[in-house]
Structure 1
Amino acid sequence: MTSTIYVDADACPVKSDISLIAQEFMVHVRFIASYDHHISNREEESGEWIFVDPGKDSADLYILNQIKRNDVLITQDIGLASLALAKGVYALSPRGTEYREESIQTALNFRYLAARERERGNYGKGPKPFNSHDRQNFQKCFRRLLSKIEGV
């Protein structure tokens, strides 16, 4: 089964990891980014780069229009992950958390509550800084996911 890996690449901290692991599994990678995030030096990331119009949701809309059942999505965006899951896609965060149908609604509810608190002027600490443990966890979970897909 040939899947494509779609990466919401604007702020993805594991692009080079995705490239290396995708090469191990011989899976095609598409990095989707806004022209706002265009970088000319991408030697570490092998794969196809697609740049879309600047704008908050341009990369998300491109991904949703292209992604199909059994593809893989790497994103930090819970909203994008929830829409992709409805299409039969595997979704993983850059920290290695696999988004699943049975738990995505809870994540969306927490996101909504956090947004409401920010509207009231209550700001939390934000996410923890991305560290080497997060990277290792992503690598392990990404390999496990691709192995599972390959065995299907």
Structure 2
Amino acid sequence: MHIFIDGDGCPVKDAVIEIAKKNQVPVKIVTSFSHFTTKDLSEQVSFIYVDDGQDAADYRIIKEIQAGDILVTQDYGLAALALSKKSVVLHQTGFEYSADNMDILLESRYFGAMQRKQGKKTKGPKAFTEKDRENFKRLLRTKIHGKMHK
């Protein structure tokens, strides 16, 4: 099992690394070269750098991820693709993507895009809160422990 992070703009990277380190689970952060870092992280954390092109990180994640791996992303399209590969997919606010909620999420994204294309204003995502972070950490711990004790 690996944990993949859709790294550009992910507010829970440090939380993932902390929890993964305690559970000895390797983490792969997929991010664009424009987010290159020399930050010294745990030896079980590796970076996969991709071009800045649209969806480059998504394509690389889908190429690398395997059944049973965990993905952290806020991208509904990427989440749908990863679910089809039998991965566990978590949103940074602490909910798990599933076949049951994916259709409504993708539909909502589509209708929002159509509204914006017509020049209408739509609400953006709510601000990320400390409660979101705690919900995410709780869910990630649960998923890791569930996979380790199967």
TM-score in terms of structure 2 length? 0.94
Structure 1 stretch 123-132 or stretch 42-51: which is displaced more? 42-51
Q: Deviations over 1:59-92 (max 9, x none)?
A: 1000000101000000010000000000100000
Q: Is the 8 A contact 1:94 1:138 kept in 2?
A: yes
Equivalent of 1:52 in 42, 50, 53 = 50
Match of 2:38 in 1: 40
Counterpart CA distance in 1 for 2:76 and 2:30 is: 16
TM-score in terms of structure 1 length? 0.93
For residue 99 of structure 1, give the secondary structure of its aligned residue in structure 2: coil
Q: Is the 8 A contact 1:16 1:45 kept in 2?
A: no
Identity over aligned pairs, percent: 37
Q: Deviations over 1:21-54 (max 9, x none)?
A: 0011111000000112223335489611111111
Counterpart CA distance in 1 for 2:53 and 2:14 is: 24
- After TM superposition, the runs of 4+ consecutive aligned structure 1 residues lying more than 4 A away are 42-46
Equivalent of 2:107 in 91, 106, 109 = 109
Computed over aligned residues only, the root mean square deviation of the Cα atoms, in angstroms, reads 1.5
Is there any run of 5+ residues in structure 2 with no aligned partner, and where?
A: none
Q: Is the 8 A contact 1:19 1:45 kept in 2?
A: no
Q: Is the 8 A contact 1:5 1:30 kept in 2?
A: yes
